[in-house]
Structure 1
Amino acid sequence: MNIICDKTLLSAAIDGVSKAVTLRSTIPVLEGILLKAEGFQLTLTGYDLEMGIVTTIEANVKEPGEIVLNAKLLSSMISRMPAGQITIQSADNGKTTIQSGVAQFEIQSMAATDFPELPNTGAEETLTIPTGVLRDMIDRTLYAVSQDEKKPAHTGELFEIEPDKLTIVALDGYRLAIVERPVTAVKDIRIIVPSKTMTEVAHLLPNDDEELVHICANRRYVVFMAAGYTIMSRLIEGEFLNYHNVIPSGSRTRVTLDTKEFIETIERASLIITERLKNPLRISFTNGKVVVRCQTNLGRVVDEFRAECEGEEVEIGFNNRYLLDALRNARTEQVKMEISGPLSPVKVLPAEGNDFLYLVLPVRFKND
């Protein structure tokens, strides 16, 4: 293989596909990137046997071929090369020369035949959605994905694809995040996508409402195609919780408040909460105001702000981080909170519309 390509394009492509490369493996080729040169382009592939990322850049291909190079080493070398054109040339003995200007490296490549072949997923196109919309949906739900490997289905995000809408759901037993957007889909399907895949999809998608991402899915695989990248992933098997059953159907207290003001109040109260001192916030919704209290060995805080409160007065305990996550991801000037009781899950909704619903589980006070 002998090619010449632009350093900026190559560096970006390496960074993109490296997200699917295994960091440490007893199989060295899984720590590498497959480089395949043919025609007028160079195709780069990273694959960890669960997720694969493929992209293509323009290249002057003097001699076609394919090799595998260690991803970490290749990334470090290319990033430190001078700007301009980079030459990559491999010999029959596996020695590969990487050169830009007078800077030159010689490293050992691995055989492309040892690189695992990406599966033929057989996934058919299911829906098309603007990249910025999908990225926003992922960003606003990933925080609620479970880290508990004992419940593998909840370590991913549920995609509910219906003819007229896409719903993404994440939950971890303490909070629930649901975001939905109108779409035109080819078929109905429910799939669970690993959180790692969703993280990389959000990372690679441009925040652009003009560019589209094509999503293909079946019962085993999902494929995202956008911005010059193809991201293939195995799906998580198992049964996702019927989340509809945990959403309270009514409310005894309804509060409409300023999101930024609530966030700032909680952040001030959180100054006396540490990893060791995890006392809950005591939040009272009463008489046109919200009162936030907390006490730990570091001290005591009381703060309040005005809000529209309807229904019964109530005091609830909250984990400060869980409540902050919901409020920060609301991304609206005002939110509405619907409360069924001091120990029932609290709904966080937009003040207008229904494009998201967050649930936060209250914390029981020790003296209750």
Structure 2
Amino acid sequence: MTSLKFTCDKALLSAAIDGVSRAITNRSAIPVLEGIYLKAEGFQLTLTGYDMEMGITTTIECNVLVPGETVLEAKLLGSMVSRMPSGDVRIELNNEGMAVISGGVAEFEIPAMNASDYPSLPNTAAENTMTIPTSMMREMIEKTIYAVAVEDKKPAHTGELFVIEPGSLTLVALDGYRLAIIQRDVECKRDIRIIIPAKTLQELLKILGGPDDPVKIDANRRYVVFTTNGYTIMSRLIEGEFLNYESVIPRECRTHVVVDCKTFIDTLERASLIITDRLKNPLRITFAPSKITVRCQTPLGKVVDEFAPDKMEGDTMEIGFNNRYLLDALRYSKCDKMLIEMNGPLSPVKLLPVEGNGFIYLVLPVRFKNEG
């Protein structure tokens, strides 16, 4: 086993361990993948976490006394370093194959794994696609990721579709019951459609830095690589056919309603008190010019609640909704007011910002039992 010895600022090391640990699975079939790969050379330490699908690496400053590499159990290393007193932490390998981790008067010894057993991250050969500000990346993911499918019936829908076109980036998420689309103008000359696993995007959100920090995106047909805030996140893409989402967006609309989101959310939350995972009865919502009425009945009880729309045009309409799907769309929109467009009790309901084309959300209605 190679020798290795370095000292590093505790806060810097702890943050780096935390960041790369996001790519590590606690119960891997390959024990070495439960560890963080550490490589010290020159004046820097490179840390890597990898689960064969996604890899996260970062490089930090450190004082390398003896260059080398090792793999240390991620959870244990993270817990030890985070609890060290502030100042420098020292890590070195001894002749018995143990890593000695010390800070202040505290000293731990843990087994070191062989660095040569650690699989290399693939050479992705991903091409530069675009660079966008963190604020844009964060908003686009946060406003859509709620609609990604959790179950694996169609693997393509457990990720988000990135439609990259010259001058434009569109993100699409859907799970068969709802759909979220957001499009932004960006500087980009490429034309490629890729499906990125939801897990990769969730971990990217946690690693993103300040709003003006750049996020560099490289992609090809097999991999995507995000570089931001001192980290590189490499991920395999999901293969398969994504739904032709443009074909399901309703073009017609018989009823337009503008609602205050907070008022609607409060009303839906009250009505949801009698809905449980076992008693998933739909909300029966009547949209009329003077009031929106929300009704629900389950074995736990019955509720009727109402509020006035800001504005309504078109036919009065009664539609059944899954409470969570409607609540998610209103909450994740982060809007004060929303425009709801309907075309009939069984047609997808469209939710839009009142101004601009910030996003499109669709929610499928629920058919009432007495309607066959």
1:167, 1:178 within 8 Å by CA — same for their partners in 2?
A: yes
RMSD: 1.0
Q: Distance in 1 between matches of 2:21 and 2:362?
A: 35
Q: Distance in 1 between matches of 2:274 and 2:306?
A: 17
1:26 deviation in Å? 2.7
Number of aligned residue pairs:
367
TM-score by length of 1: 0.98
Residue in 2 that maps onto 1:355: 358
1:169 paired to 2:172: yes
Q: Distance in 1 between matches of 2:153 and 2:363?
A: 21
Counterpart amino acid of 1:24?
Answer: R
1:179, 1:355 within 8 Å by CA — same for their partners in 2?
A: yes
1:76 paired to 2:44: no
- Aligned counterpart for 1:284 among listed residues 264, 286, 291: 286
- Aligned counterpart for 2:89 among listed residues 68, 86, 89: 86
1:132, 1:205 within 8 Å by CA — same for their partners in 2?
A: no
Counterpart amino acid of 1:246?
Answer: V
1:92 deviation in Å? 4.3
Corresponding residue SS for 2:23: coil
2:167, 2:189 within 8 Å by CA — same for their partners in 1?
A: no
Worse overlay, 214-223 or 130-139:
130-139
Q: Distance in 1 between matches of 2:280 and 2:38?
A: 49
2:39, 2:70 within 8 Å by CA — same for their partners in 1?
A: yes
Q: Distance in 1 between matches of 2:294 and 2:28?
A: 49
Q: Could you tell me which runs of 5 or more consecutive residues in structure 2 were left unpaired when the two chains were aligned.
A: none
Q: Distance in 2 between matches of 1:190 and 1:26?
A: 32
Counterpart amino acid of 1:292?
Answer: V
Identity %: 65
Q: Distance in 2 between matches of 1:362 and 1:158?
A: 24
Q: Distance in 2 between matches of 1:357 and 1:339?
A: 13
- Aligned counterpart for 2:40 among listed residues 32, 37, 40: 37
Residue in 2 that maps onto 1:236: 238
Aligned residue runs from structure 1 range 117-196, under 5 A: 117-196=120-199
1:280 deviation in Å? 0.6
Q: Distance in 1 between matches of 2:12 and 2:325?
A: 40
Q: Distance in 1 between matches of 2:289 and 2:173?
A: 34
1:111 deviation in Å? 1.1
1:206 deviation in Å? 2.2
4+ residue segments displaced more than 6 Å: none
1:299 paired to 2:301: yes
Residue in 1 that maps onto 2:272: 270
Corresponding residue SS for 2:100: strand
Counterpart amino acid of 2:322?
Answer: N
Residue in 1 that maps onto 2:218: 216
1:207 deviation in Å? 4.6
Aligned residue runs from structure 1 range 41-80, under 5 A: 41-80=44-83
TM-score by length of 2: 0.97
Corresponding residue SS for 1:30: helix
